[in-house]
Amino acid sequence: MKKTVFEVRQMDCQAEENLIRMKLDELSGIKNLEFDLPNRRLAVYHSGKSDPIERCITALNLGEKKLYTNQVSSKVFSEKKDQKKLLWLVLAINFLFFLIEITFGFISESMGLIADSLDMLADSFVYGISLLAVGSTLARKKRIAKIAGYFQITLAVIGFVEVIRRFFGTVELPNFSTMIIVATLALIANVFCLYLLQQSNNKKEAHMKASMIFTSNDIIINLGVISAGFLVNWLNSNMPDLIIGSIVFIVVIQGAIRILKVGK
């Protein structure tokens, strides 16, 4: 297996990355692509000669220059398999707690739990898009991203409508104890996920850092839902639950917009 590294001076955002991926889809023998956008570097893991790869990148006129080609150990790919297993585990935990939180959110009449469940689902989409698109064409990756993004936005908008209905209507108080217990379990799950990600040998890679940021944000949201549960009980009002729900729905929509950008 060979690793060829290119400097691509005009590669500074996702648009150029997608353009290069699309162009290199034409070639066989490419095992993996690693993009370092801040340093404008591209590493291509491949079999065979690097000349066809260089010709494809040159055709894009992005100020490319081949830096070097060397042999790499198969250990590189075994590490990536371990990394994929870790991300699949984190995805599974997120999706499981999406199901738990949305179920108990409806049972307890808590918009905070329902919104938090959608945030967990959003993270599952992010991990899933990265993992399921490996080895797939760029067109498939775009289709997956669009479906995930629009689905998230639809759910979040429905959630906002329900928040407005509850704000102006007369509804029962959410069950604060269920809010606190379920959000605490989700908090424990996210702390465990963050621990697993931090123990990874690849934690310094860009997408692993992003995964840790997602999980850290989830922990903050979990703490928000727990706090809202205590406030519901203390104030005897559903306003804290509606406020935290609205905030998290906004976070979910922002995440969906980022996912849709992948689909462009």
The answer to whether residues 104 and 178 touch, using CB atoms and an 8 Å cutoff, is: yes
Residue linked to tokens 């465990």: 192
How many other C-beta atoms can be found within 10 angstroms of the C-beta atom of residue 207? 15
Q: What is the pLDDT of residue 149?
A: 75
Q: What is the pLDDT of residue 156?
A: 83
Which residues lie below 8 Å from residue 85, measured CB to CB, with a gap of 6+? none
- Judged on CB neighbours under 10 Å (0-12, 13-18, 19+), 18 is middle
Q: What's the first-to-final CA gap in the chain, in angstroms?
A: 32
Q: What is the pLDDT of residue 131?
A: 67
Which residues lie below 8 Å from residue 100, measured CB to CB, with a gap of 6+? 117, 182, 185, 186
Phi then psi for residue 203, to 5 deg, are: -65, -15
What letter represents residue 180's amino acid?
I
Which pTM was predicted? 0.63
Provide the residue-wise pLDDT of the chain in tens; the chain has 264 residues: 888 999 998 887 656 776 787 788 778 788 778 888 778 888 888 888 888 889 888 888 888 889 988 887 655 555 566 667 777 888 899 899 999 999 999 999 888 898 888 888 877 877 776 666 554 555 666 676 677 778 778 888 888 888 888 888 767 789 999 999 999 999 999 899 888 878 765 555 555 565 666 677 788 889 999 999 999 999 998 899 999 988 888 887 877 776 676 555
